[in-house]
Amino acid sequence: MGMELNETSAGAEGLLAEGIDTPCVVIRSEAVDANIAAMAAEAARRGVRLRPHVKTHKLPELARRQVAAGACGITAAKLSEAEVMADGGIGDIFVAYPVVGAAKARRAAELAGRVRLIVGVDSLAGARQLSAAAEAAGLALEVRLEIESGLQRTGVPPEGALALAREIAAMPGLSLTGIFTYRGAMLGGAPTLDLRAAGHEEGRLMAGVAETLRRGGVAIRDVSVGSTPTAVYAAEIDGVTEIRPGTYVFQDRMQTAFGVCRPEDCAAEVWATVVSRPAPDRIVIDGGSKTFATDVQPDKPPLHLQGFGRVIGLPHAVFERMNEEHGVIRISPEDTCEPGDVLRIVPNHICSTVNLHGSVYVSGKSGLRRVPVAARGCIQ
Amino acid sequence: MGMELNETSAGAEGLLAEGIDTPCVVIRSEAVDANIAAMAAEAARRGVRLRPHVKTHKLPELARRQVAAGACGITAAKLSEAEVMADGGIGDIFVAYPVVGAAKARRAAELAGRVRLIVGVDSLAGARQLSAAAEAAGLALEVRLEIESGLQRTGVPPEGALALAREIAAMPGLSLTGIFTYRGAMLGGAPTLDLRAAGHEEGRLMAGVAETLRRGGVAIRDVSVGSTPTAVYAAEIDGVTEIRPGTYVFQDRMQTAFGVCRPEDCAAEVWATVVSRPAPDRIVIDGGSKTFATDVQPDKPPLHLQGFGRVIGLPHAVFERMNEEHGVIRISPEDTCEPGDVLRIVPNHICSTVNLHGSVYVSGKSGLRRVPVAARGCIQ
């Protein structure tokens, strides 16, 4: 089975003959490499560092491919994710999340003894714990201050950044070297499809905060921004030094709807078997909410995705509902689709979908390999 | 740490001192035992067999507790889940799902050589594969026909049941011994809060189908119905022989809203640390959609749950939004809640929440034990 899967290859039956059963995630390696190369080229062209978020694939081997293709290091969301990647040979890791708690601060200090580690901070409480742990370990822990830029989750608002940055910069054991934010595709506080304007707004906001901090006496070197839809545009703004896209490695139905990629760039699919056709216009597949993530719901702005995924080869099918082990798809009564057929589906959101799977199957010239999702469930 | 957690015990700090970090699932063992005993008593009082669905806990040790408390066996959704439970010492397993595919049929036959196994069927295609695999293995595989009873997913409609049942009953290698359905809390085709009427309707429909099959010459012994909200009412109908509730073992916020249990009966909680309070009315916890399931969304009928979980001790808090690692909770500006605080949260849907976690922490008289979720991710 040396065939490379593409949008039109049937494939499924041959691969299932190799002993792989459904439902499962199949990753098309050639498409992954093309996505990795394309983003690396975009970052290089704009003169910013690329630090991909590994939360999308959770696979050390893909993190290594990203670094080999020019990434300066990786981004992780949690320390446990970073620890797995360090074990997998990655030597430069940014935990882009406020690390809070004495136990986690000690783990951060331990990890900083093994790799170049940068951690996020957005509160005095968190910074003090990191400071104490770093001092106890006898090292200078590199931290970046998270800036709230419109998503209304973590991060200090720009107007509070200078006061907090000064306090953190003065703490022993810490080295405040940068600021970061994440907000995805937002413009003027609302979700948007105008990715260029969104990226420019994000970049300008962050470059402005960095300037404010520098004028206030805090030496800010790194200005780090998101995200697959906006990164290449934010990178066009002077002062932005680093981008942290994640989803681009696989792309997904959400990114396709954003216009970030073509359908055929989606490198990760779920394969599922039709287990029932109880009505002419309804089939049920053997994957539900334990197989496909439900965090990106249909019909939500700005994308208004119809259903939970795109069924390759059945353009009018609507993946309407899920229970844990059932996926209910509305089809046309004329569609030929019977129990036993295997469908290939591009999920709405690939990152949280991969997180459901203990292993994935990576296709390539030499066939399919089963690869454990080493950083699956790394929430701590 | 011999303290038993309850609704009012602070607990979190002491347990965290034992080296457990957030976010994590904590299971209160005493509440589990009370839930197991209560459902066993309900089933016994009504003279039906109890065959709990293990998809809620995914833990062989809790399946064994259920059997020890009187369950006739267990229910699983997928063969892989059944295989884990067989390995864990469970000897009587019903896979309440249409098993489709030649490879799965062979696995079913293999498992039927180790334990008493019953599998679901709702199509000729699936039945033929099971028949062939059972014949090849030289055994009579017990199957039950799934009946569509209103949920519009898998199952043959009642009017088509007799014809299909006759064909399946005639197949070599198969022993058609029962019918089953699942529909949750539905009445007259729509979601309902009238659980008694819903359960009675479900029970009458299934008893009626069983009678039709018997009159048509198909010997139907077992008539098996769902679900935590409706099981005890369906069991009141003559002809129903078995109930398959799952969620009752832990209960959850959905069941509390159904009125099935009290808030303090919820035996599984997520513990999460506040990592940021970027505004007086907003906190962010270190658990998002990789920690709490998103399949039961807020504001959906019939329950209209507000937010993604109930925050114990903060009755007015609304768990409004999640990203993968962020949970955004709206609180009152007067609430004292700062980075580092640990919150206990009862999720909307505990089954799919447990599925996200590689291990859980089970509390008891002798403290907290870390238990791997052996059947996590068993989707195949």
Question: How buried is residue B138: exposed, middle or buried, by Cβ count under 10 Å (0-12/13-18/19+)?
Answer: exposed
Check whether residue B315 and residue B347 sit in a common domain: yes
Q: Tell whether A280 is covered by a domain.
A: yes
Does any CB of chain B come closer than 8 Å to the CB of residue A72? no
Q: Is the pLDDT of residue B367 over 90?
A: no
Q: What is the mean pLDDT of residues A25-49?
A: 97
Q: Tell whether A41 is covered by a domain.
A: no
Q: pLDDT value at position B273?
A: 97
Distances (CA, A) of A23 to A91, A274, B315, B355: 34, 10, 40, 15
The closest CB to that of A352, out of B148, B286, B290, belongs to: B290
The chain B residue lying nearest A55, using CA atoms, is: B324
**B323/A290 CB distance under 8 A:** no
The chain A residue lying nearest B328, using CA atoms, is: A153
The neighbour count for residue B306, using CB atoms within 10 Å, is 16
**A276/B323 CB distance under 8 A:** no
Of B245, B269, B290, the one marking the end of a domain is B245
The closest CB to that of B324, out of A19, A55, A357, belongs to: A55
Helix and strand element counts for chain B (H, E): 11, 19
Q: Residue B349: give the domain boundaries.
A: 12-27+254-372
Check whether residue A207 and residue A128 sit in a common domain: yes
Q: What is the mean pLDDT of residues B178-188?
A: 96
Q: What is the DSSP string of B95-124?
A: EEEE--SHHHHHHHHHHHTTSEEEEEE-SH
**Do B190 and B142 form a contact (C-beta atoms < 8 A)?**
no
The tens digit of pLDDT for each residue in A233-256 reads 999 999 999 999 999 999 999 999
Give the neighbor-by-neighbor strand order of the sheet with B222-225.
B49-50, B242-243, B222-225, B174-180, B141-146, B116-121, B92-98, B74-76
Which residue is associated with the tokens 């050589």? B113
Please name the helix (run of DSSP H) or strand (run of DSSP E) that holds residue B277, with its range, or none.
strand B268-279
Q: pLDDT value at position A351?
A: 98
Check whether residue B239 and residue B165 sit in a common domain: yes
Task: Please tell me the distance in Å from B139's CA to the nearest CA on chain A.
Answer: 23
Does any CB of chain B come closer than 8 Å to the CB of residue A97? yes
Check whether residue B187 and residue B240 sit in a common domain: yes
HEC readout, chain A: CCCCCCCCCCCHHHHHCCCCCCCEEEEEHHHHHHHHHHHHHHHHHHCCEECCECCCCCCHHHHHHHHHCCCCCEEECCHHHHHHHHHCCCCEEEEEEECCCHHHHHHHHHHHCCCEEEEEECCHHHHHHHHHHHHHHCCCEEEEEEECCCCCCCCECHHHHHHHHHHHHCCCCEEEEEEECCCCCEECCEECCCHHHHHHHHHHHHHHHHHHHHHCCCCCCEEEECCCCCHHHHCCCCCCCEECCCHHHCCCHHHHHHCCCCHHHCCEEEEEEEEEEEECCEEEECCCCCCCCCCCCCCCCCCCCCCCEEECCCCCCEEEEECCCCEEEECCCCCCCCCCCEEEEEECCHHHHHCCCCEEEEEECCEEEEEECCCCCCCC
The tens digit of pLDDT for each residue in A47-100 reads 999 999 999 999 999 999 999 999 999 999 999 999 999 999 999 999 999 999
Q: Is the pLDDT of residue B269 over 80?
A: yes
Q: Tell whether A42 is covered by a domain.
A: no
Q: Tell whether A364 is covered by a domain.
A: yes
Q: Is the pLDDT of residue B139 over 70?
A: yes
CATH code for the domain of A17? 2.40.37.20
Q: Is the pLDDT of residue B2 over 60?
A: no
The tens digit of pLDDT for each residue in A115-159 reads 999 999 999 999 999 999 999 999 999 999 999 999 999 999 999
Check whether residue A182 and residue A279 sit in a common domain: no
**A322/B295 CB distance under 8 A:** yes
The tens digit of pLDDT for each residue in B184-226 reads 999 999 999 999 999 999 999 999 999 999 999 999 999 999 9
Q: Which of residues 170-229 of B touch A (CB under 8 A)?
A: none
Of A245, A276, A307, the one marking the end of a domain is A245
CATH code for the domain of A80? 3.20.20.10
Task: Please tell me the distance in Å from A99's CA to the nearest CA on chain B.
Answer: 7
**Do A154 and A161 form a contact (C-beta atoms < 8 A)?**
no
- Confidence band of A228 (pLDDT split at 50, 70, 90): very high
Q: Is the pLDDT of residue B17 over 70?
A: no
Check whether residue A264 and residue A367 sit in a common domain: yes
- Confidence band of B364 (pLDDT split at 50, 70, 90): confident
Measured at the CA of A38, the angle between CA B325 and CA A51, to 5 degrees, comes to 40
Please name the helix (run of DSSP H) or strand (run of DSSP E) that holds residue B347, with its range, or none.
strand B342-347
- CB contact set of B202 (below 8 Å; sequence gap of 6+): B149, B181, B183, B186, B225, B226, B230, B234
Q: Please give the tally of structural domains in chain B.
A: 2
Residues in a beta bridge with A93: A74, A117
Check whether residue B363 and residue B271 sit in a common domain: yes
Identify the weakest region by mean pLDDT among A24-38, A319-333, A353-367. Answer: A353-367
Chain A residues in contact with B287 by the CB 8 A cut-off are 379
The tens digit of pLDDT for each residue in A167-192 reads 999 999 999 999 999 999 999 999 99
Backbone φ and ψ of B134, nearest 5°: -70, -45
- Confidence band of B1 (pLDDT split at 50, 70, 90): very low
Chain A residues in contact with B21 by the CB 8 A cut-off are 101, 103-104, 380
Does any CB of chain B come closer than 8 Å to the CB of residue A372? no
Q: Is the dihedral of CA B39, B45, B51, B53 positive or negative?
A: negative
Q: Tell whether B128 is covered by a domain.
A: yes
Q: pLDDT value at position B362?
A: 95
Calpha distance A67→A51 (Å, rounded) = 9
Check whether residue A226 and residue A208 sit in a common domain: yes
Q: Tell whether B97 is covered by a domain.
A: yes
Q: Tell whether B153 is covered by a domain.
A: yes
Q: What is the mean pLDDT of residues B224-245?
A: 98
Cα B165 to chain centroid distance, Å, stands at 27
Q: Is the pLDDT of residue B127 over 60?
A: yes
**A290/B123 CB distance under 8 A:** no
The neighbour count for residue B10, using CB atoms within 10 Å, is 12
**A339/B380 CB distance under 8 A:** no
Check whether residue B156 and residue B261 sit in a common domain: no
Q: Tell whether B68 is covered by a domain.
A: no
Q: What is the DSSP string of B168-223?
A: HHTSTTEEEEEEE----SEETTEE-S-HHHHHHHHHHHHHHHHHHHHHTT----EE
Check whether residue B342 and residue B211 sit in a common domain: no
Token pair of B303 as six digits: 């329950």
Q: What is the mean pLDDT of residues A269-274?
A: 97
- Confidence band of A9 (pLDDT split at 50, 70, 90): very low
The tens digit of pLDDT for each residue in B44-64 reads 999 999 999 999 999 999 999
Check whether residue B203 and residue B258 sit in a common domain: no
**B103/A277 CB distance under 8 A:** no
Check whether residue A165 and residue A261 sit in a common domain: no
Of B245, B266, B292, the one marking the end of a domain is B245
Q: Which of residues 310-349 of A touch B (CB under 8 A)?
A: 321-326, 328, 338-340
Measured at the CA of B284, the angle between CA B349 and CA A288, to 5 degrees, comes to 30
Chain B residues in contact with A347 by the CB 8 A cut-off are none
Which residue is associated with the tokens 């989750």? A153
- Confidence band of A365 (pLDDT split at 50, 70, 90): confident
